[in-house]
Chains A and B, each alone.
Chain A
Amino acid sequence: MLGRIRMFLWLLVAVALAGAVWLATRPAAKPQVQSSELPLASIGGPFTLVGSDGKSFASSRLAGKPFAIFFGFTHCPDVCPTTLARLARLRRLLGQGDEAFQILFVTVDPERDGPAEVGAYTKVFDTPVVGLTGTRAQIERVKKQFAVYSAKSPSPGGGYSVDHTATVFLMDRNGKFLATLAPEEADAVALDKLRRASR
């Protein structure tokens, strides 16, 4: 009897050791949202920006439809078009039409990106993408709501590029945060989230 208890205790020790080793060696999970002191659930909220037609765009216009929102700038040749192209492709793969979820592009560079610039930039994807800009105050406010970081970075040529959060936020039909889409995750993972959002 005593032997069996002892064996059981040793077994516990072995399990604890294995657990400790696993904890120490597993790859650390990458945080997907930088800066956010905001808990993910509080991401989002009502916003008013300016559409590509130059008119005020209130988020209430999105009510009833899930949306994927991405922050970038139109002088961005790589990450921003790649992300928007990916969203367009994912929406095609989802096979539920353009109504499945809306794609929103919000500039973090309102000094250079007016309504015309975001309009032209979003039109090139051959699928509806809502391009949004706004006053500096409006952009700062919406950035805060989505815990988005951005900062200008001078280019050698004299201009500047913008470092910015490249996470896509997926919001449900009530405008509530549902999930993030990270650039490095597989299409299957992203599609699963989008399927949940558009259900």
Chain B
Amino acid sequence: MRSPLPATAGPITGFAMKMPLLSALLLIAACSPTEPMIEVRNAWARETAPGQSSGAVYANIVNRGEGDLLTGATSKRAAAATLHSSTTENGVSKMRTPAGVAIPGGATVALTPGGTHVMLEGLRSPLVAGETIAVTLRFAKAGPKIVTAAVTAAGAR
């Protein structure tokens, strides 16, 4: 990606102080397209019942850069957060723990109900509709991304 402005380091620093928007644009322009550019959108979780030990977080992971791997997750709300994938074969549903979820370059990977999701195990308190929870997704190349997931009513979607 070529920047329309001269990209020498010296002038930009002073420039950046005065022009935060422009400097942000320059930063984006400076990002090499061969790095993963991960953005997590529409993260949500279903409300859980009191006493329910686990919940699930869903989201869309958009990658505008090169391929990456979602390797794990953490959340203060649960003892553990693990990648899980549900599969249904011949009517039988199974949950398995993949070592990672490939996020190919230029692709959007959807974590959806009945598919791959982040399972919150050992919830410290029930997920209540209307609140938001913080979940950190770890990517092999892009590093950790803190995601805010909206908790929706159990029967809402």
Contact = CB atoms under 8 A, between A and B. Distances in A.
Interface string A63-107: 000000000001111110110110011000000000000000000
Given A78-B114, A85-B156, 4 more contacts: A31-B90, A79-B113, A89-B155, A183-B114
B116 to A, nearest CB: 9
Nearest to A89: B155
Interface residues of B, number: 34
What DSSP secondary structure best describes chain A's contact surface?
A: loop
Interface stretch (A54-62, A136-144, A151-159, A171-179): A151-159
A34 B82 contact: no
B91 A79 contact: no
A78 B120 CA distance: 11
Contacts of B84: 77-78
Nearest to A164: B93
A75 B47 contact: no
Interface stretch (B21-29, B48-56, B140-148): B48-56
Contacts of A88: 155
Interface residues of A, number: 43
A117 B51 CA distance: 7
8 contacts: A32-B91, A75-B54, A84-B155, A125-B155, A153-B95, A166-B88, A166-B91, A183-B93
A123 B91 contact: no
Given A85-B156, A121-B49, A124-B47, A165 B91 contact: yes
Contacts of A82: 46, 113-114
Contacts of B113: 78-79, 82
B50 A81 contact: no
Q: Which 8 A-B pairs have the closest CB atoms?
A: A166-B93, A82-B113, A88-B155, A77-B54, A124-B49, A34-B90, A77-B56, A125-B155
A48 B36 CA distance: 56
Contacts of A35: 92
